[in-house]
Amino acid sequence: MADLNETHDPTRRSWVEAANAPDCDFPIQNLPFGVFQSPGRAPRGGVAIGDMIFDLKVALDAGLFSQSAQAAARAACAPTLNALMALPPRQVSALRRDLSEVLRSDGPDRRRIEKMAGDLLVPMQQASYRCPAVIGDFTDFFTSVDHVTRVGRIVRPDSALPPAFKHLPMAYNGRTSSVVISDTPVIRPRGQKMRGNGDVEFAPTRALDYELEAGIYIGAGNALGTPIPLRAAPEHIFGLCLLNDWSARDIQRWESVPLGPFLGKSFCTTISPWIVTSEALAPFRVPAAARAKDDPLPQNYLQDAADRAEGAFDIDLSATILTAAMRSKGQAPARITLTNLNTLYWTAAQMIAHHTCNGCNLQPGDLLGTGTTSGPTDESRACMLELTAGGKQPLKLPDGETRAWLEDGDEIAFHGRAHRDGFVPIGFGACRARIAPALSA
């Protein structure tokens, strides 16, 4: 198993009481980084603990960090975390150890620290979030066999799995300017599409979809021309978030031969505000998904025993829908997807090794999407395209409504949770957004 240390100790508890609740996403074993702002506090780095945000700048100014954590703490105070991500992992790890010491319920300085709680902690409900990094490039992968097979059957009945799929982790370049933080409304995009009668029209999409993905933030980068070998790739993963790769299927279908997705995706991509670090996720690493007996052996640069043994993450992922009608009746969101990040055919490290095998340079803060995380079961279908067989079999919601695709007012929320016997489960918080109507033409 990947290196564990005292920050993973399941007996450790926090003096921030909400962090000790069994269903809390942010126990002291998590300590994810994000960028927040609140009345009187300009945008800056923070750490989620229970229902609070720990203000790193206040803590730094109060002298709460040891010498070994100073560099990381200074970088983590900034309004973007790129400088933090660029640091060697051991420096981020040093900050994490200090944070765990400062926030633990039985630390020697607890009394002194808790007296500063009014300054150190900001209630999450008083804060708003920013994109935690300047994302230089966003790459979206396509690594779920089940997603690709189901979509292939709908869109290209003659060839369900692209020829290269089992030889390399397929991907395309995404759009960074329209990556937005959770709770930013998604404006229904207009676009060109071909109607059933063969006419081309320009109109608001009629096939708006979500895609439940994880996002991978790159830490240290590589120089142009110098690939990252698979064995070294895990050190380049700063952490993970949840990512909704919103898709307009009608626009996508019409535009994407032969250059791939463009305007069908670039109108919006939503990310969750908190970055759960590689170190926090170490206990939840599991073997990469099994390959079928007749699957091709990957090329050498995509083969590594350690990656096979613990290259995947055991993280339950879910999507819920809350329609306008459900909201007005005070109903709870309905779960429409339950899947796990460990079902992907390729690991995060393989994505990085492949991405850089041609010499392409990754930079701190670059974002990789895993692709839709569908598994083999019906409940694990992770987008409407799969759930409704391309809009042909509308989804029945608990309140009697149906959905072929998403409608205005629908709110989609993702959650993720990692668990393993003997460890405290950790989560990601919400990746959530509501569909707003198309602007008038």
Q: Using CB under 8 A as the criterion, which residues of the chain lie in contact with a second copy when the complex forms?
A: 136-137, 142, 156, 162-164, 167-168, 170-178, 180, 187, 189-192, 194, 200-202, 224-227, 248, 251, 254-264, 266-268, 296, 299-301, 354-355, 357-363, 366, 439
- To which residue do tokens 């699957």 refer? 295
Q: Are 435 and 184 in contact (CB under 8 A)?
A: no
Whether the bond into 258 is cis, omega within 30 of 0: yes
Q: Which is nearer to a second copy, 225 or 398 (CB)?
A: 225
Residues 6+ apart with CB under 8 A from 291: 166, 345
Instruction: Write out the H or E segment, with its range, that includes residue 129.
Output: strand 128-130
439: number of CA atoms within 13 Å, CB side?
A: 6
Cα separations in angstroms, 330 against 100, 159, 322, 367, 414: 38, 45, 10, 36, 20
Q: Which is nearer to a second copy, 42 or 259 (CB)?
A: 259
Strand, helix or coil at 377? Answer: coil
User: Minimum distance from CB of 44 to a second copy (Å)?
Assistant: 22
Strand, helix or coil at 301? Answer: helix
Q: Which is nearer to a second copy, 257 or 332 (CB)?
A: 257
User: Minimum distance from CB of 20 to a second copy (Å)?
Assistant: 39
Q: Which is nearer to a second copy, 271 or 418 (CB)?
A: 271
Cα separations in angstroms, 352 against 14, 211, 236, 293, 346: 35, 21, 8, 25, 10
CA 90, chain centre distance (Å):
23
Cα 289–Cα 96–Cα 74 angle in degrees, nearest 5: 125
User: Minimum distance from CB of 304 to a second copy (Å)?
Assistant: 15
Bridge partner residues of 38 (DSSP): 41
- To which residue do tokens 């779920």 refer? 144
Instruction: Look up 419 and say whether it is catalytic.
Output: no
127 Rama sector, left if φ>0, alpha if ψ -120 to 50, beta otherwise: beta
User: Minimum distance from CB of 187 to a second copy (Å)?
Assistant: 4
Q: Which is nearer to a second copy, 93 or 176 (CB)?
A: 176
Q: Which is nearer to a second copy, 107 or 152 (CB)?
A: 152
User: Minimum distance from CB of 221 to a second copy (Å)?
Assistant: 8
Residues designated catalytic: 147
